[in-house]
Amino acid sequence: MLFILYCLKLALSLQMDFKDKFMKVSILVPVYNVEKYFARCLETLFSQTYSDIEYVFVNDCTPDKSMHVLQEVLGKYPSRTNSVKIIENKKNLGIAIVRNILLENATGEYVLFVDSDDWIETNAIEKFVRKALESNADIVGCDYIEEYADKQLVFKQSYPSDHIEAMKAMTLLRIKGVLWKLFIRREIIVHNDLYFVPEVQFGEDYIFCCKLFYYAKSFSCVNEALYHYVQYNPNNYSSTNMDLRINSFSSAINIVESFYREKGVYDVLETELLQRKFLSKSSYVLDAKKRNIKAWASYFPESNGAWRGLNYSWPNRLRFLLAEMVVKLFY
């Protein structure tokens, strides 16, 4: 009986301690062409179990009624109204600049990016805050779910405690190189003047994350799927053709490589970066409908043999070997 009372007292004290240590959190949301999906996203944001949240939205001249949806859903949550900032762009600026505007308007101790066609669990912020307080981590990640029209895929994420190993994991994308599942101490971003590169419209997340993982010194993870990543919206920022994606992502990788060299860490990350280069162009060999060996040869030729250190099936390893032979014979 005494033991039960002790446990209840301890649980109550921990709960009170958590409430005493509330921190302000900024949720950052770019808005563009998401009218069909936005309401679900907003419902999960405004119904969070955690109270001290600042919401920042940037309307990047969306051509649909997404902003009407925002006002309609917000009307159902009057307690959240004073916590909402809405910035209206006068012209479409693209996702990189929009994310910079979001960061400029954030005031929370931690920030979380949420794409406006995705959604999060209603207790996500509470769980992020608890983990951040427990671990004092600069970055807290989580597992996530990819949402398709006919299925869901759950992806587990592991964040190494060792700084170099965490950087290797991000470089090679063993940790998915996107912002929307990272709960980030804003001071890391502000102190190191981190921003998104406007010239890169695909891969801007990767550049930012690689730099972020260099500056951050402590990492933790909520081992639950808190984020739902929608894969069936054809109108969002990330929907674009393969050639454009590969070309843009190659620019992102070059920027990351220059950053690593500048900071003196390239040597310890060289293998992972070489493999990342290879992975960025592998679709030109593996995608039967868009196979283009000449294009494959033109991107990062120094990485052509990197498939040997990656976990490919034997049929795919044979395809890469044949591609190498074709390049040597004809290009």
Q: Is residue 12 part of a domain?
A: no
Cα dihedral sign, 181-185-190-193: negative
Domain, as residue range, for 304: 242-330
Residue 29 to residue 38: CA distance in whole angstroms: 11
Same domain, 41 and 119: yes
Q: What average pLDDT does range 40-57 have in this prediction?
A: 98
Same domain, 226 and 248: no
Same domain, 304 and 199: no
Q: Is residue 304 part of a domain?
A: yes
Q: What average pLDDT does range 321-327 have in this prediction?
A: 94
Most confident region among 111-115, 200-204, 236-240 by mean pLDDT: 111-115
Q: What average pLDDT does range 248-259 have in this prediction?
A: 94
Of 127, 123, 119, nearest to 147 (Cα)?
A: 119
Q: Is residue 18 part of a domain?
A: no
Same domain, 220 and 272: no
Phi, psi of 215 (to 5 degrees): -80, -35
| pLDDT tens track for 84-100 | 999 999 999 999 999 99
Give the chain's mean pLDDT: 91
Residue that wins the pLDDT comparison between 245 and 286: 286
Per-residue pLDDT for 9 more than 90?
Answer: no
Of 43, 163, 58, nearest to 103 (Cα)?
A: 58
**Lowest mean pLDDT segment, chosen from 12-21, 152-161, 253-262:** 12-21
Q: Is residue 14 part of a domain?
A: no
**pLDDT band at residue 248 using 50, 70 and 90 as cut-offs:** confident
Residue that wins the pLDDT comparison between 57 and 236: 57
| CB distance 199 to 229 below 8 Å | no
Same domain, 128 and 198: yes
Same domain, 52 and 121: yes
Bridge partners of residue 230, in order along the sequence: 147
Q: Is residue 1 part of a domain?
A: no
- Per the structure, the count of domains in the chain is 2
**pLDDT band at residue 20 using 50, 70 and 90 as cut-offs:** very low
Per-residue pLDDT for 33 more than 70?
Answer: yes
